[in-house]
Amino acid sequence: MNSNPPATRLGMHAKTAVHRVLATLGARHPEKKIIADSRRYWNDPDQAIWKDESHWRDADIFDGNDLWTEIGRRHLRLLAQGARMLGSTAASGRVIEWGCGGGANAVAFAPYAREFIGVDVSPQSLQECGRQVARACTTPFRPVLIDVAAPEAALEAIGGPCDLFLSFYVFELLPTPAYGERILRIAHRLLAPGGLALIQIKYHTGSWRTKPRGRSYRFGPAGMTSYPLPAFWQLAQRCGLRPEYVHLVPRDELDERYAYFLLANPEERDAGPVPGPSV
């Protein structure tokens, strides 16, 4: 287990604050550099909070509680609620999770899938996710390793349409908000007509503290990327997905400002825009 004393977290919070101030003053890094920093971060599992950020079962944040198991259950319930509203199936067929990490969500969704595809930039997390799925059910698990710089390569590796696209605690880790558009376009291309996506983001309130940081990836990757709620709704539309509803979680045990977007890949007759939320 990684050692993660309070002093480590306090030091990282202080450094993150400094880098947020620098970003607010315009000292941002080019996306190419942030992508390279992200690649290095996720391929170095010895870092202090790496397992925490990757949501491995034996991470410090899950020590002495049932939160690791509860995460997946909550998300499964949220999807079931949205699917009932749409008259759709919650989690069956071919399911893909973008950024599967240590499997906290996979173990909840995989038992209801025909095939579960885990996509991640870390080979260690893919191995761990596969182990956890095998312990939970007999659903075939297919690992897909991608490079941060080339997420589109997953399209060929996955091949064929999927029925459900999941992504939790990932968009906040992306190098930039613009990079998130690439993932949404990948989701659109992977989903079968009528397929669903449940994607969680961090939303920002307009304050300097909650906006995308734009520099120094290793100092708090979970604070790298955030979106205004209407902007993400409209971005999903531009990428060919139809927003159905958004569920907000201002704060929970892990962090704050979570928004869950249920998106549909529309049938041709239903591809028109829908109004964004009024926020």
This prediction's pTM: 0.88
pLDDT band at 15 (very low <50, low <70, confident <90, very high): low
**Cα–chain center distance at 222:** 10
CB 59 within 8 A of CB 1: yes
Asked if residues 68 and 1 have their Cβ atoms less than 8 Å apart, the reply is no
Whether 25 has a pLDDT exceeding 90, the answer reads no
* Local structure of 265: helix, strand or coil: coil
Residue-range domains of the chain with CATH: 6-270 (3.40.50.150)
3-state per-residue secondary structure call for 67-123? HHHHHHHHHHHHHHHHHHHHCCCCCCCEEEEECCCCCCCHHHHHHHCCEEEEEECCH
Task: Say if residues 192 and 265 touch (Cβ distance below 8 Å).
Answer: yes
- State pLDDT tens for residues 40-65: 999 999 988 999 999 999 999 999 99
pLDDT tens per residue, range 199-255: 999 999 999 889 998 988 988 899 899 999 999 999 999 999 999 999 999 999 999
Over the Cα atoms of the chain, what is R_g? 18
